């Protein structure tokens, strides 16, 4: 159960703890604050089963709530403040939040939510008063590992956000197995007790990918990124104050743009949320970053991690060699590639199919959504919505999102792989491949390029023709059109917002920017 983790960390690793700006809170002091807070909340009526919304950036107080609410059997709901207001209100109604705890920079947004959640606790004043008034005893509340711990929502890029319930055992098992996997395979991004881990993923996204539970588990210190600018991040990295971080590819791209030179000491990065292109991976490695890729999502938690970033040959449905990162399932996880009839495809088939996942920590249903539940959850398996190819060693290559894959003339075009290959072209900063309806072929690909230098469409097509000659892609994968954009639109999770991009496609230029 979650509270046990902090109790053990305060005993085993009393000199480790949490960095926020230049202030350090060791695990024993954090435990003391958590106990006082939990007892005060209990006296206020926050009891087992009470749902508490948290509206804050990654902060020490937000981290403390991970343990304080769990100690009294309450259920936390980390709110995604980057959602549009109507979607945010929808998640609050679905989760049935009883209380709201608000960080100082979100006071105006909290005011807009008072009709939905009138009972609110503000940080720091009211929050710190609760700690001052609390007593440092363990709450006498029975908790089981099967009890609900938190409610999480997807980012809603393809419709309304969908909610799932995580139990205590779910969130701990999935987080710890990432650590085990990275250690078992001696990954480049293996975290150790000597690391100070920087959490750049908001807690609203699967609790920052489980970092609040990984750091105390291995005895590492944790740096929190509340209001942390790119300049601050670079300063912490270059001065060796942090040695490990998690981030999405767009965050990695921006970080590399601000690093002045290659690092003198290794810096480990766990990347996920969307596909890591080979061009971005190579650039990161040139700067001295040690990368691993994590695969999962809010509705399945972590499922797989790359053993390395070496490119391994994959066979496409055209039996032509293409390349992608291979992901190995975490201990306790099974991955299957299934066809449209849900029949598992053999690893030797080389065919693209949907990835299905089974693990001891996968949720069993979407919150209040039986139709979506029936579609995605079947007999203990979860349909990820991702297209992949299986390999004889049990690894899987993710080639696309099912909704983003392009079927041209009845054959799949692997969008992620095409984006990866285009990213290797010097001068391309970011790239997105979109589908356009086509009367003859059903769908055809177009490319949207973000670049700071002039790249003529002819040069991009010439580059892709060379990749065809090298056997990396089939010729029919070459986009019919190239569009240019100065800045990619991003989702609340920091991914390229392809729906937004598709809606403004007719406004984009087919001429390279001067």
Please say if the pLDDT value at position 396 is more than 50: yes
Mean pLDDT over all residues of the chain? 88
Q: Which residues pair with 294 in a beta bridge?
A: 305
Residue after which a domain boundary falls, among 150, 167, 184: 167
- Return the pLDDT at 314: 40
Could you tell me how many residues make up the chain? Answer: 514
Tens digit of each residue's pLDDT (9 = 90 or more) over 186-214: 888 999 999 999 999 999 999 999 999 99
Domain count, the chain: 2
The CATH number of residue 97's host domain is 3.40.50.12780
Residue at 50 is within a domain:
yes
- What is the residue range of 94's domain? 2-167
Distance separating alpha carbons of residues 324 and 276, to the nearest angstrom: 10
Asked which of 167, 183, 207 is the last residue of a domain, the reply is 167
What pLDDT sits at residue 502?
Answer: 83
Determine what percent of the chain is predicted with pLDDT higher than 70: 93
**Helix runs in 134-203, H state only:** 168-184
Burial of 256 (0-12, 13-18, 19+ CB in 10 A): middle
State pLDDT tens for residues 116-169: 999 999 999 999 999 999 999 999 999 999 999 999 999 876 678 999 999 999
CA atoms within 13 A on the CB side of 230: 11
For residue 460, being part of any structural domain is answered with yes
CATH number at residue 487: 3.30.300.30
Q: What region does 296 belong to: left with phi over 0, alpha with psi -120 to 50, or beta?
A: left
Which tens digit of pLDDT belongs to each residue from 406-453? 878 877 787 877 888 898 888 888 899 998 888 888 889 999 999 877
Asked if residue 253 belongs to a domain, the reply is no
Per-residue pLDDT averaged across 285-302, rounded? 91
- Which position has the token pair 């003859």? 440
When pLDDT is cut at 50, 70 and 90, the band that residue 513 belongs to is low
Q: What are the residues whose beta carbons fall under 8 Å from the beta carbon of 376, sequence distance 6 or more?
A: 299, 366, 382, 383, 385
Distance, in Å, from the CA atom of 54 to the CA atom of 310, rounded to the nearest integer, reads: 40
Distance (Å, whole) CA 6 – CA 217: 8
Residue 19 placed within a domain: yes
Q: Is residue 155 within 8 Å of 161, Cβ to Cβ?
A: yes
- Structure tokens belonging to residue 105: 């920079």
How many whole angstroms separate alpha carbon 378 and alpha carbon 376?
6
What is the rounded CA–CA span in Å between residue 371 and residue 392?
34
Q: For 459-501, write each residue's pLDDT tens digit.
A: 999 999 998 888 778 888 899 999 988 888 887 667 788 888 8
Please tell me the distance from the alpha carbon of residue 492 to that of residue 182, in angstroms, as a whole number. 27
For residue 221, the Cα-to-chain-centroid distance in whole angstroms is 21
pLDDT of residue 306: 81
Domain boundary among 145, 167, 189: 167
Q: Is 298 contained in some domain?
A: no
Amino acid 364: pLDDT: 92
Q: Are 513 and 486 in contact (CB under 8 A)?
A: yes
Q: Flag whether 288 is in a domain.
A: no
Measured between alpha carbons, how far is 414 from 241 in angstroms, rounded to an integer? 40
CA dist 274 and 277 (Å) reads 9
* Predicted confidence (pLDDT) per residue in 30-64, tens digit: 999 999 999 999 999 999 999 999 999 999 999 99
pLDDT digits (tens, 9 = 90+) for 329-361: 999 999 999 988 888 887 655 677 889 999 999
- Looking at the domain assignment, is residue 303 inside a domain? no
444 is a domain residue = yes
Question: Distance of CA 383 to CAs 336, 359, 365, 379, 453, Å?
Answer: 10, 12, 12, 11, 41
- Of 159, 153, 145, 258, whose CA–CA distance to 202 is shortest? 153
Query: Is residue 317's pLDDT more than 60?
Result: no
The answer to whether 286 and 263 have CB atoms below 8 angstroms apart is no
pTM (2 d.p.)? 0.82
Yes or no: say if 146 and 169 are a contact pair by the CB < 8 Å rule.
yes
């Amino acid at each position: 159960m979650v509270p046990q983790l902090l109790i053990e960390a305060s005993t085993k690793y009393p000199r480790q703890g949490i960095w926020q700006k230049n202030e350090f809170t060791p695990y024993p002091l954090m435990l003391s604050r958590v106990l006082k807070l939990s007892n005060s909340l209990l006296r206020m009526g926050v009891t087992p089963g009470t749902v508490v919304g948290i509206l804050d950036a990654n902060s020490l107080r937000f981290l403390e709530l991970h343990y304080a609410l769990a100690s009294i059997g309450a259920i936390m709901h980390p709110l995604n403040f980057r959602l549009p207001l109507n979607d945010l209100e929808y998640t609050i109604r679905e989760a049935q939040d009883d209380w709201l705890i608000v960080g100082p920079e979100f006071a105006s947004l909290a005011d807009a939510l008072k009709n939905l959640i009138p009972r609110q606790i503000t940080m720091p004043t009211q929050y710190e008063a609760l700690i001052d008034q609390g007593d440092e005893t363990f709450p006498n509340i029975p908790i089981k590992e099967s009890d609900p711990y938190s409610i999480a929502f997807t980012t809603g890029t393809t419709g309304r956000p969908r909610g799932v319930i995580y139990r205590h055992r779910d969130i701990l098992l999935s987080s710890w197995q990432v650590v085990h996997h990275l250690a078992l395979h001696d990954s480049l991004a293996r975290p150790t007790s000597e690391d100070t881990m920087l959490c750049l993923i908001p807690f609203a996204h699967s609790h920052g990918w489980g970092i609040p539970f990984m750091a105390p588990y291995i005895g590492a210190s944790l740096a929190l990124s509340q209001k942390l600018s790119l300049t601050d991040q670079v300063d912490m990295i270059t001065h060796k104050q942090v040695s490990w971080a998690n981030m999405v590819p767009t965050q990695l791209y921006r970080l590399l743009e601000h690093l002045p030179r290659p690092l003198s000491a290794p810096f480990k990065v766990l990347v996920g949320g969307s596909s890591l292109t080979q061009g971005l991976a190579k650039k990161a490695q040139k700067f001295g970053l040690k990368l691993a890729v994590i695969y999962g999502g809010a509705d399945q938690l972590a499922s797989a991690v790359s053993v390395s970033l070496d490119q391994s040959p994959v066979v496409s449905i055209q039996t032509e060699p293409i390349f992608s990162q291979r992901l190995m399932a975490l201990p306790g996880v099974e991955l299957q590639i299934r066809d449209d009839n849900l029949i598992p495809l053999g690893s030797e088939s080389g065919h693209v199919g949907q990835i299905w996942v089974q693990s001891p920590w996968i949720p069993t249903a979407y919150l209040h959504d039986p139709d979506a539940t029936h579609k995605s959850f079947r007999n203990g398996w979860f349909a990820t919505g991702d297209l992949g190819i299986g390999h004889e060693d049990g690894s899987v290559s993710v080639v696309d999102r099912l909704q983003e894959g392009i079927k041209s003339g009845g054959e799949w075009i692997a969008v992620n792989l095409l984006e990866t290959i285009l990213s290797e072209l010097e001068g391309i900063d970011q790239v997105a491949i979109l589908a356009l309806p086509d009367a003859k072929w059903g769908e055809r690909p177009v490319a949207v390029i973000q670049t700071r230098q002039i790249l003529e469409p002819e040069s991009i097509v010439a580059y892709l023709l060379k990749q065809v000659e090298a056997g990396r892609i089939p010729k029919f994968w070459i986009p019919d059109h190239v569009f240019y954009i100065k800045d990619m639109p991003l989702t609340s999770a920091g991914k390229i917002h392809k729906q937004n991009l598709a809606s403004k496609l007719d406004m984009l230029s087919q001429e390279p920017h001067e």
